[in-house]
Amino acid sequence: MAIYVIKRLLGIVAILAVMSVLVFAITQVMPGNVANILAGQFADDATIKAIEHKLGLDAPAYVQYWRWAGGVLSGNLGNSIIMERPVGPLIWEAFKSSALLAILAFIMVAVFGILLGVIAAIRQNRFADHAVSLFSYVGVSVPEFFWAIVAIIVFARYLNWLPSGGAGNISQGFWVWASHLVLPVLTLTLTLIAHVSRLTRSSMIETLRSNYVRNARAKGLPEKVIIRRHALRNALLPTITVLAIDVGWLLGNIVVVEAVFSYPGIGRLLLFAIERHDLPLIQAGILLIAAVYCFANLIADLLYAYFNPKIRYGHAES
Amino acid sequence: MKKRIIGALGAAAVSLAALMAPAMADGNLRVAIPANLNTLDAAKTKLGEEYIMNFLVFSGLTEVDGKGGVKPDLAESWAKSDDQKTWTFKLRPGVKFHDGRLLEAEDVKATIQRIQDKATGSTARVNFDIVESIETPDKQTVVFKLKIPYSGFAELFGDRQVRILPRDKFDTVATSPVGTGPFIFKSFTPGDRVELVKNPDYFVAGEPKLDAITLRIMPESAAQIAALETGDIDLVWNLPLESIDQMKKNPDVVVDSTSTSTWDGLIMNAAQKPFDDKRVRKAILMTLDKPALVEVALYGQGTPTHTMIPPSHPYFNKDLPISTPDIEGAKKLLAEAGYPNGFEATLYVPVGRPTRERLGIAAKELLAPIGIKVDLQRVPWDKFVKEIEGKAAFYTDGFFSRPTIDTSIYPFFHSTGSWNTQLWNYKNPEIDKVLDDARAAKTEEERAALYNKFQALAEDDPAGAIPYVLNHVNAYRKNVKGFSSSPMMWLDLRETTIQ
């Protein structure tokens, strides 16, 4: 088991190293560079050359890459070229804000997705099942920016229950802080919940029809115990895989949700960096997101093994 | 153990008290702006949002009103030599930077030299190419020697990037700016907000009146409007044009609009066929219905004009009528130029600049009757800057208000102008002469007459089509008093109060 985890961790490091080269290569072929952005529209070539020289952008690409990689290996993520401030704290602050949104949304998706899926499965083809299906299909088929704007218009503008955007500070009071999270988390949840609830429903229906559930019923076990102990535990396996994939979706959707709700997270920061070709900021942001995704998948695989005794990583006898 | 429990209880009590505290102090104006700031270093700023900061935190030697006037700011007075080549500025005595140090002539000199350095990347650099030397005979006096006579030199110091910075803080100005302006920089959370507080030592007595300003970065206009209507913010800067009518219906909100010299244009590159022929450019200009373009591209929030000199400016040529569409005349000119059946042209528009996109769409329709078949191509901004501007034959572009008449026109229309060769490669010796003469003009009347002549020449031999100048619109809540929108699109909040 430990050996398996170590192997996977090494794999993640390798993936991140390859990613950093890829990201660097992509920024090299994008039209324009950060010097163009700094010099502004219609700058003459001499100005662009002067800025490139000052920033060391006139060095060969491999030298530039190595300069960046060397810094990272010694624990220095560098400075944002545009903002002229260290990347580390900039990314970390934004990441914390986004992580809060993502974790809350993830919990909502997992809890309510599974719950709705189970309800739909137990009430198969009855009203509750159709209601859940309709709700989740509408949620997933309309893009998140639409829901976000609808939420702003309804809850902020007309009802005036919740702020229309921004991030609250805990020093302003718990409610102020929490109220800023409600709409973004709801929007993220709405667009992702269908994956989980649909999958849980179908795998739950399948397990409820299985022989061991029939056996349990024949033994006279109460229905609640059958569902919780026998059916759900087995039905959850595919759901875990989908939840891990949903982490990727979540990271994508969060960019849009942060923009609409003026939420200062990593998605917007990354968009800002990419638009300005600010390489150190782009690299740090993308690597962090890639790392989160890799770890989410690792955890999913480990959970899979935990829930399914048929899968054991490492040696058979351990 | 007991101690620890008491400590924990104490901490809980403190945080509970923090929870109960009122969210905002009085006299804090909350402003919504749409985009994040790249830098807080005034010399390097390029965005409207950054210019707001420049005028709240810093000061210039002079101040312009965007309508041709210039007033003292950090300089209490100035004088020019008869040949208009030597300019002497006297600094206001006793002005302090936010860190408490006194402003000195050396700060002015170092600030301008930094702007002149190409590696700084300041867009104001080209304006100071005319400076030969800067001298500081004493701590209150700066003397500029120019290479050419230049009548508008004092106005250059009202420009957005030309804010006077403390010469010992150049390295940190991008993250923690120190200026002499009415508000002191407190904090910047990228993507979220900028916090400013009142400068109690501001050199104008009684100003500013607000205690603090929060600039909230809110990219989505629906969120801005909801926040304004519910009172989460007090002022929306540069209200999106499509939301104006809706805002006007709200009794709690004031919509304030002012005309600017920010313009959009249909750029025709004179270095490429068929736009090398002035008759083709003139035919296109003659086809455009300028008031209609104001309606389509700006939802009515703009004014038809001849060139970038807005109708509100004292130098606007009132004797020259705004051209009305003349399809037959335009067809005739095209035929003379050798295109009796018109031609096909690709018109590039930048994505994410909605007024210029709509201008392109309208132009496509308006040019069809004279046989010009326009293929409209939307191009992402990055690619637009790198591959379209100055290189394509036909595209829409636009430019922000500039503080002086010379810097608004010369770079675009003079054959040696810094932006001309990267925009439309326009050459007209008569216009060159008029613009050079205007730089050296000694009286207002002389200057006004020359710029009137410029407009007539540009109408006859158009560089491109400049159909309108845009309005700048702010919306604020009724309890905000003493605010008016600036034609330069920055926020002057020195006299503003909240009631």
What is the ipTM score, two decimals? 0.80
Cβ separation A268–B175 shorter than 8 A: no
Cβ atoms of residues B134 and B112 within 8 Å: yes
* pLDDT tens track for B22-57: 344 469 999 999 988 999 999 999 888 999 999 999
Q: What's the per-residue H, E or C state across A123-183?
A: CCCCHHHHHHHHHHHHHHHCCHHHHHHHHHHHHHHHCCCCCCCCCCCHHHCHHHHHHHHHH
Q: How big is chain B by its Cα radius of gyration, in Å?
A: 25
Q: Residue A1 has what pLDDT?
A: 74
* Average pLDDT, integer, range B59-68: 85
The 10s digit of each residue's pLDDT in A53-98 is 888 888 888 888 888 888 888 888 888 888 888 999 999 999 999 9
Look at residue A157 and tell me whether its pLDDT is greater than 80: yes
Q: Nearest CB to B118: which of A31, A47, A167?
A: A47
**Tokens 């700031």 — which residue?**
B37
The rounded distance, in Å, linking the Cα atoms of B458 and B466 is: 10
* A36 → closest Cβ in B225, B229, B386: B386
- Distance separating alpha carbons of residues B47 and B63, to the nearest angstrom: 19
CA distances from B279 to B225, B337, B393, B455 (A): 46, 6, 16, 17
pLDDT at B5 over 70: no
Give the pLDDT confidence score for residue B23 in this predicted structure.
40
Q: What is the pLDDT of residue B292?
A: 94
Asked whether residue A37 carries a pLDDT value surpassing 70, the answer given is yes
- Identify the pLDDT of residue B66: 67
The C-alpha angle A14, A19, A25, rounded to 5 degrees, equals 135
Q: What b/e readout covers B227-266, taking b as 16+ CB neighbours within 10 angstroms?
A: bbbbebbbbbbbbbbebbeebeeeeebbbebbbbbbbbbb
Residue B322 per-residue DSSP state:
P
Do B186 and B197 contact (CB within 8 A), yes or no? yes
Residue % of chain B over a pLDDT of 70: 94
C-alpha distances (whole Å) from B90 to each of A92, B104, B140, B285 are: 47, 11, 6, 47
A232 DSSP assignment: I
DSSP state of B489: S
What does residue B80 show for φ and ψ, rounded to 5 degrees? -120, 150
Q: Is B134 helix (H, G, I), strand (E, B) or coil?
A: strand
Put simply, the chain B residues between 369 and 388 with a CB less than 8 A from any chain A CB are 381-383, 385-387
Count Cα atoms within 13 angstroms, Cβ side, for A8. 17
Residue predicted with more confidence, A240 or A102 = A102
Asked if residue A193 has pLDDT above 80, the reply is: yes
Alpha-carbon gap, residue A113 to A132, rounded angstroms: 10
Which tokens go with A235? 């039905």
d(CA B105, CA B142): 6
Torsion angle, CA of A9/A11/A15/A16, rounded to 10 degrees?
30
Average pLDDT over residues B423-437: 94
Q: For position B19, what pLDDT does the model report?
A: 42
Is B400 touching A (CB cutoff 8 A)? no
Residues A80 and A275: their CA atoms lie apart, in Å, by 13
Residue A290 to chain B, least CA–CA distance (Å): 22
Which residue in B194, B192, B223, B193 sits closest to A97, CA to CA?
A: B192
Q: How far apart (Å, rounded) are the C-alpha atoms in residues B289 and B293?
A: 6
pLDDT tier, B88 (very low <50, low <70, confident <90, very high otherwise): very high
Q: What is the pLDDT of residue A202?
A: 87
Domains in chain A with CATH codes: 2-73 (no CATH), 96-275 (1.10.3720.10)
Mean pLDDT of chain B: 90
Higher-pLDDT residue of B377 and A210 is B377
So what's the pLDDT on residue B26? 63
Q: Is the dihedral of CA A189, A190, A193, A195 positive or negative?
A: negative
Provide CB contacts within 8 A for A143, sequence distance 6+.
Answer: A191, A256
The two three-digit tokens of residue B473, written as one number: 């619109």
CB A27 within 8 A of CB A275: no
On chain B, the residues whose CB falls within 8 A of the CB of A281 are none
Measured CA to CA, the distance from residue A184 to residue A190 in angstroms comes to: 10
Cβ–Cβ below 8 Å for B121 and A262: no
Whole-angstrom distance, CA of residue B117 vs CA of residue B177: 20
The A residues from 92 to 151 touching B (CB cutoff 8 Å) are 93-94, 148-149
**Residue B7 confidence (pLDDT) above 70:** no
What's B241's DSSP letter? G
How far are the Cα atoms of A27, A70, A79 from residue A65, in angstroms, in the given order? 11, 8, 14
B15 pLDDT band (50/70/90 cuts)? very low
Cα B65 from Cα B45, distance rounded (Å): 20
Non-local CB neighbours of B301 within 8 Å, separated by 6+ positions: B241, B244, B257, B294, B470, B471, B473
Q: Averaged over B339-344, what is the pLDDT?
A: 92
The burial class, CB within 10 Å (0-12 / 13-18 / 19+), for A21 is: exposed
Which residue in chain A is spatially nearest to B189 when comparing CA positions?
A: A264
Cα(A147)–Cα(A130) distance, integer angstroms: 21
CB contact under 8 A, A260 and B220: yes
Residues of chain B numbered 293-332 and touching chain A (CB < 8 Å): none
Tell me the pLDDT of chain A averaged across its residues: 85
Cβ atoms of B68 and B313 closer than 8 Å? yes
Q: Residue B274, preceding bond cis, omega within 30 degrees?
A: yes
Measured between beta carbons, which residues in chain A are less than 8 angstroms from residue B191?
Answer: 94, 258, 263-265, 268-269, 272
- Dig out the tokens for A39 from the structure: 């010099």
Quick one: closest CA in B to A87, which residue?
B190
Q: Which residues of A touch B117 (CB under 8 A)?
A: 50
* Nearest partner of B463 among B275, B335, B291, judged by Cα: B275
Q: Are A269 and A94 in contact (CB under 8 A)?
A: yes
- The span from the CA of B83 to the CA of B380, in Å, is 47
**Contact flag B192-A171 (C-beta cutoff 8 Å):** no
H helix or E strand, kind and range, residue B111: helix B105-116
Give me the numbers of helices (H) and strands (E) for chain A, helices first please: 13, 0
Rounded to 5°, the CA angle B421-B426-B427 comes to 110
Angle at B160 between CA B156 and CA B165, to 5 degrees: 90
| CA distance linking residue A250 with residue A190, whole number of Å | 11
Residue B197 burial (C-beta neighbours within 10 Å; 0-12, 13-18, 19+): middle
Angle at B17 between CA B13 and CA B20, to 5 degrees: 140
CA angle A308, A291, A238 (to 5 degrees): 25
Q: What are phi and psi of A268, to 5 degrees?
A: -70, -40
Q: What is the mean pLDDT of residues A222-231?
A: 82
Contacts of B190 in chain A (CB under 8 A): 83, 90, 94, 264, 269, 272
pLDDT of A126 reads 86
Residues in chain B: 499
pLDDT at B304 over 60: yes
The C-alpha atoms of residue A197 and residue A112 are separated, in whole angstroms, by: 8
